[in-house]
Structure 1
Amino acid sequence: MNIIVLAAQQAQGGGMGMIIMMVALFAIMYFFMIRPQQKKQKEIRKFQNALKEGDKIITNGGIYGTVRRVDLAANIVEVEIARGTVISVDKNYVFADASAQAQK
């Protein structure tokens, strides 16, 4: 009879240890994966909101160009990718400063 009671007590304690391990694993994932990604997204949003004419940028598709016009109402950026060639890109797809990338 005592063996059954001891086995039941050990099983209950093992469940609590498993919960603690799961919480610890989630905390590790948060601080090493989720939080840095959120900080990076915040920096990208800050860059997108500060776009102005003449900035050298890189789009999400890897196109390098220079901002010619920013239309905040339509959320569109006109980018010159070659002399006389201007494309319209959604502002959310501009993600990097080309001049900063060239310095790295």
Structure 2
Amino acid sequence: MSLESLFLPLLIVLLAVPMFLQARKQKRAMQEQQKLQNSLEAGDRVMTTSGLFGTVVSSTDDSIDLEIAPGVVTTWVRAAVREKVVTDAEDTATTEDAETERDEASVAEKTEVKDEKDTTEVPASESTAEVAEPIEKQKTS
């Protein structure tokens, strides 16, 4: 077998593999999107493909009703929902937990740093910093 006879099969394989992997990736993304759209229920905060945020009020097999402002309910095709949005209550709870952990770590860090610091600190009233003249006075001089 010569190198020329292997060129065509190798070329076909090199082109087919990326196409196969891309098709798998697309299929997985479609399944995730369908799973999200089928899991929507009243009270979920969502964003549509056009970027509109709303809260699901009710849903049928192929459509959902979104409240986009107090008292304003619109009907959308279920496929128009791009993603669920994390509500402020869920986000706040997660943020508060993270802040508490960060504060505890910060206190522990400050305690360690304080122990290592030299105790010869200069009080703020005895600062040796020089202050420059205001720019207006410099121009007129």
Normalising by structure 1, we get a TM-score of 0.73
Q: Cα offset for 1:92?
A: 1.2
Higher-Rg structure is 2
Residue type matched to 1:47 in 2? L
Question: Are 1:43 and 2:43 counterparts?
Answer: no
Residue type matched to 1:14 in 2? E
Figure out how many residues of one structure are paired with residues of the other and give that number: 89
Question: Are 1:85 and 2:75 counterparts?
Answer: no
- Give the ranges of 4+ consecutive aligned residues of structure 1 lying more than 6 Å apart after TM superposition: none
1:20-67 alpha-carbon deviations (Å, 9 max, x no partner): 222222112322x22222111110100111110001111111111100
- Unmatched 5+ stretches in structure 1: 1-8
Partner SS for 1:99: coil
CA distance in 2, matches of 1:51, 1:94: 9
Question: Are 1:55 and 2:52 counterparts?
Answer: no
CA distance in 2, matches of 1:84, 1:15: 71
Residue type matched to 2:31 in 1? K
Partner of 1:14: 4
CA distance in 2, matches of 1:68, 1:90: 14
Q: Cα offset for 1:15?
A: 4.5
Q: Percent identity?
A: 26
Partner of 2:17: 27
CA RMSD after TM alignment: 2.2
CA distance in 1, matches of 2:65, 2:5: 58
CA distance in 2, matches of 1:26, 1:87: 44
Larger relative contact order (C-alpha < 8 A, sep ≥ 6)?
1
CA distance in 1, matches of 2:78, 2:13: 38
- Unmatched 5+ stretches in structure 2: 92-141
Residue type matched to 2:78 in 1? K
